[in-house]
Structure formats: structure tokens, C-alpha cells
Amino acid sequence: MRVKATFDSAVPIYMQIMEKIKRQIISGARQPGSKVESVRELAQQMEVNPNTMQRAFAELERSGLLHTERTAGRFITEDTARINQVREETAKNVISDFVDSMLHLGFLKEEITRLVNQYTGEE
Amino acid sequence: MRVKATFDSAVPIYMQIMEKIKRQIISGARQPGSKVESVRELAQQMEVNPNTMQRAFAELERSGLLHTERTAGRFITEDTARINQVREETAKNVISDFVDSMLHLGFLKEEITRLVNQYTGEE
Amino acid sequence: MRVKATFDSAVPIYMQIMEKIKRQIISGARQPGSKVESVRELAQQMEVNPNTMQRAFAELERSGLLHTERTAGRFITEDTARINQVREETAKNVISDFVDSMLHLGFLKEEITRLVNQYTGEE
Amino acid sequence: MRVKATFDSAVPIYMQIMEKIKRQIISGARQPGSKVESVRELAQQMEVNPNTMQRAFAELERSGLLHTERTAGRFITEDTARINQVREETAKNVISDFVDSMLHLGFLKEEITRLVNQYTGEE
DNA sequence: GTGGTCTAGACCACT
DNA sequence: GTGGTCTAGACCACC
């Protein structure tokens, strides 16, 4: 798993996993109320230590997207309001990163909106 | 330089460097016609093997953003039309990635343009 | 029954049991004059060694809350005055612990009484 | 560290530690802005694995009572408003536990306040 | 089988 | 030296 990497941003694995699952929830790929794979199972699938997976889950729980039923397993929250809230926060971050990126390339705000309009329109 | 990798997609270092310099050219941080540091110098600055740096330069030359003048060194192209072309290709990629990302989060194209307009407007 | 202990203070099991039964008597959950389960029976219920249970009973007898009638078994005392006395001692300990706890948190006596009044009043 | 314990409430070690440090902060035994011992040092003092201590600290950080300065160490927050907020939450819990305890002993709310007044007054 | 906790030991980056 | 992260492996309670 050790490779020459993005070099500045060494995002912890548990955060990457957390982000990934978060997006699956946001996008609806994981439905509210649905069961999540067990720690051990997902850990194996993703080739990661169960503790690492455990931590990712713990963080997701803390953010209110998951909840644990002690012996039954973990489930996506049914609190769609919370999901939506996270969805909007995430979108805002994505947009913010995008706009910053474009500004660094030397584009003006007007150009950015114009190009986005054009791109989403034509395709 | 060894770090935990992005854990799924590991972009080669020479591409990361290439991308970085490309953006400096596009944004004007590196001016058309200006001299570029030597392979060795930049390699040392970025803590990278000179061969890696060499390859990044080679690719940038192939894309027409750099050219070598035997004995004198490497220079940013003065072909601003070419720079602009690359700038627009790059922008298109950035936008494409962004839009895909938003679509995967479950946003509609209309929402995307609306949110971008909103973001660039208010801030 | 083996669990990670309170990590500093480990109260002996027989005392925990004693305390528990004492409270049942004080609160009236066990009525004066009523029969108590046998050592063996209770020991099994609580998953504890009969010797431990025996010791708990012995202590309760010493404090006058239980008495043994040869062949017939053990009974809760009918001496309600004694029960009341223990009840008040216990209360005093509970209160003492509570007040100490609050003092250690940096609250003044005046604050403590005020907060208790407030809490018992509003809820 | 394994001992016969409180048997129902097996509070995780990291929570016990967290609680302990929280109280030290609340009571002023640890001053706002003051440095906290290193993970390794405290772990050794408390005879606990560094990872366990790490977790306790992480939780305290999440609750806003601690913050990390990457290589310099950990410090108590200087946000006294936050500390006060936690102090009041904690007090409320302590009071709530106490009152419940007394109610289970069969005391009435009026008695409880009377006894507390008496206790704090006379001593 | 599930999640939760703990330990021991390792490596990293930063100073 | 500091904190942060990860792994491997263990044990527990609950079902």
C-alpha cells in the first residue's frame, strides 16, 4: 500500500474511506435505513485493517450518518434531513475547491460560470 | 516523499510535476519566454530524482509548452495561442471532473449551474 | 462477571451485593418481615460464588437489617426504626458523596442547593 | 488491570480517563491554556497503553476542551465559555444521578432538597 | 456472527 | 522529543 503519493496531501486512509461512504450515502447509492456491511467484511473488501475501518465508521457515526445497533450491525441513518445537510456541506466544499482551482488557473468568476453553463448545457 | 498513497489511484510523480508546471504557465506565474530552472536544480527543490524531472520536462515539451535551446537551457513557449489552447483544455478537464463529481453526489445539471452562480456571486 | 474494572477503585463484590440489597430494603422493594431467597438461589441468580453471597448476608445481619431463623431461612427485619436509621445513614452518605463531587467540580455550597432546588422543582 | 468489577457498568478506560481530565479542567485544577502531559507520559503515569490515552485525548479534543499543536503538544482550551458550558452539563448530570439515586431510596423531592440544605448548612 | 475495547509495536512528519 | 496513523491480534458481551 505504500507508494509515491500526492506528496502534500497524505489523507489518512480512514478519512478516505469515510469520505467514500459519505458520498455513497449522499448520492443515494446507500439508502437510508439500509444495513451496512460488517466492519470485518468491508475491511477485507477494501484490504484494510478492521481497526481502520472501525475508525472510519466511528467518524461517520459521530457525524450522524450511521448508527449502530449493538449486535445487529450498522445502519444508514433514516434522518434524511441530516443527510441533506451533509449533502449540501459536501457540495459547497466541492464547489469551493473547483472555483479556487479555476481562479488559480487565471479564470475570472464570470468566465467560470459561463464555462460551467456551457459545459452542462452542451453535453 | 514516501507517504500513504491515495489508496486507490496513485498518479505518477512526473505527471504531478508536469501538471504543476503546466498550471504555473497557464496562470501566468511563469511568463512566456522566461527561462526555466535546470533539471538538476528543480529536481533538488522538489526532492525528486532528476530522471523524474527530466520526464516531466519531456512531456511538457511534447505538449508545446516548453522548448529547449541547446546550451542555453529551457524556456516557456512564446506561443500564447498554444498556451491558451492548453489553458482551455485544462479548464475543460477541471470542469468536467467537477461536474462529474457533483452528478455523482446526485445533483442535477440545473442545480450545479445554480449553485456555482450562487457561490461565485455571493463571495 | 470479569470486566475491565473501574480502573482505580475496585469495590469488593460482596459489598456491592450488600449495598444492593440494603437499598431494596430501604426503598421498600423488600418488605419488613418478608423472606429472603436462599444463599444458593441468590448466588445463582447473581452469578456469584455462594461464599460471596454468604458474606454479604452476614454483613447485612450485623447491621441489623436481616436475621436468620434456624431452619426457616432469612428474613428482613421488622424493626422499622432500624430500617429508617439505615435509610438516613445511607442518604447521608449519598448526599455527602454528591456534595463532595460538586465541590470538586468547583461549585459553592450556595450554588449546589440552588441547583438542586431548581432541578427538583422544574422536572 | 482485570478485576471483578462494578459488573453492570463497564465504563471503557478511555472514557474514565476522559472524565477524569474533564473534571480537572472544569474544577480549574488544569488551567486554560496550560500544557498537558504528552500521550506517552500520561499513559505511563496511568499505566495504560498510549493508544488508549490517545483516544481519551481525541475525545476531549472533539468536545472542545483540548486542542493540539502539531509538534508542540496538547493544551487546555482557552475558551472559558466552552469550559463553563461543559461544567454546567456535567453538574446537571451529577445532580440528575444524585436525585435519581435518592428517589430510588424512597425519598421525596421535598425531603431531598431539605436534606441537602441541611447538609450544606451544618457542615 | 456482531460491534467495542485494549494492547503492543511500528512508522511517519515535524522541530 | 511531539502527535498521528496503521496493523495484528486478542478478549469481551450480546445474539
Q: How far is B117 from chain A (nearest CA, A)?
A: 6
3-class SS at D35?
A: strand
Whole-angstrom Cα distance, residue D5 to residue D12? 12
Say what the pLDDT of residue B16 is. Answer: 86
A94 at interface of B, judged by CB pairs closer than 8 A: yes
Percentage of chain C beyond pLDDT 70 is 90
Q: Is D73 on the interface with C (CB under 8 A)?
A: no
Please give the Cα distance from A4 to A11 (Å, whole number): 13
Decide if C52 touches D, using CB distance below 8 A.
no
Q: Which helix (H) or strand (E) holds D79?
A: none
Residues of B in contact with A3 (CB under 8 A): 2, 5, 10
Calpha distance D123→D120 (Å, rounded): 6
Touch of C by D (3+ CB pairs closer than 8 Å): yes
C1 touches chain D (CB under 8 A): yes
Q: Which positions of chain E lie under 7 Å from any protein Cβ?
A: 1-10, 12-15
Side-chain-side CA neighbours of C69 within 13 Å: the count stands at 9
Query: What's the whole-number mean pLDDT along residues B38-62?
Result: 90
**Higher pLDDT, residue C95 or C70:** C95
Query: How does DSSP assign B45-113, residue by residue?
Result: HTT--HHHHHHHHHHHHHTTSEEEETTTEEEE---HHHHHHHHHHHHHHHHHHHHHHHHHTT--HHHHH
Q: What's the CA–C1' distance between B4 and F5, in Å?
A: 10
Residue A121 pLDDT class (50, 70, 90 cuts): confident
DSSP A68: E
pLDDT at B7: 58
Q: B113 versus D6: which is more confidently predicted?
A: B113
Of the residues D112, D114, D122, the best mutation for testing chain C's interface (the one with the most C CB atoms within 10 Å of its CB) is: D112
For cell 461536474, what's the residue? B99
Q: Distance between CA atoms of D2 and C57, rounded to whole angstroms?
A: 26
Are the Cβ atoms of B5 and A3 closer than 8 angstroms?
A: yes
- pLDDT, tens digit, 9 for 90 and up, residues D88-101: 999 999 999 999 99
Distance CA C96, CA C98 (A): 5
| Res C11: pLDDT | 75
| φ, ψ at C30 (rounded to 5°) | -115, 120
**Alpha-carbon gap: D70 to the closest alpha carbon of chain C (Å):** 30
The reply to whether residue B106 touches residue A87, judged by beta carbons under 8 angstroms, is yes
pLDDT exceeds cutoff 70 at A35: yes
Chains that touch D (3 or more CB pairs under 8 A): C
- Give D-chain residues touching C7 at CB under 8 angstroms: 1, 13, 16
d(CA C52, CA C40): 10
pLDDT digits (tens, 9 = 90+) for A40-70: 999 999 999 999 999 999 999 999 999 999 8
Q: Which residues in chain A (21-50) have CB-CB distances under 8 A to chain B?
A: 23, 26-28
- Whole-number Å distance, CA C47 to C1' E5? 24
Model confidence pLDDT, tens digit, residues D35-58: 999 999 999 999 999 999 999 999
Q: Which residues have a Cβ under 8 Å from the Cβ of B49 and sit 6 or more positions away?
A: B43
Cα–Cα distance between A63 and A69 in angstroms, integer? 16
DSSP 8-state assignment for residue A37: P
C16 in D contact zone (CB under 8 Å):
yes
Nearest nucleotide to A61, CA against C1' atoms? E3
B44 confidence band (pLDDT: 50, 70, 90)? confident
pLDDT at C2 over 80: no
DSSP state for residue C7 in the 8-state scheme = S
- Please indicate if any CB of chain A lies within 8 Å of the CB of B108: no
Kind of pairing between the strands at D73-76 and B66-69: unpaired
Whether the CB of D51 is less than 7 Å away from nucleic strand F comes out as: yes
What is the pLDDT, as a whole number, of residue A18?
94
Residue B12: pLDDT band (50, 70, 90) is confident
The pLDDT of residue C12: 82
Residues near C110 by beta carbon (within 8 Å), at least 6 away in sequence: none
| DSSP summary character for residue D67 | E
Choose among B123, B33, B47: nearest CA to B75: B33
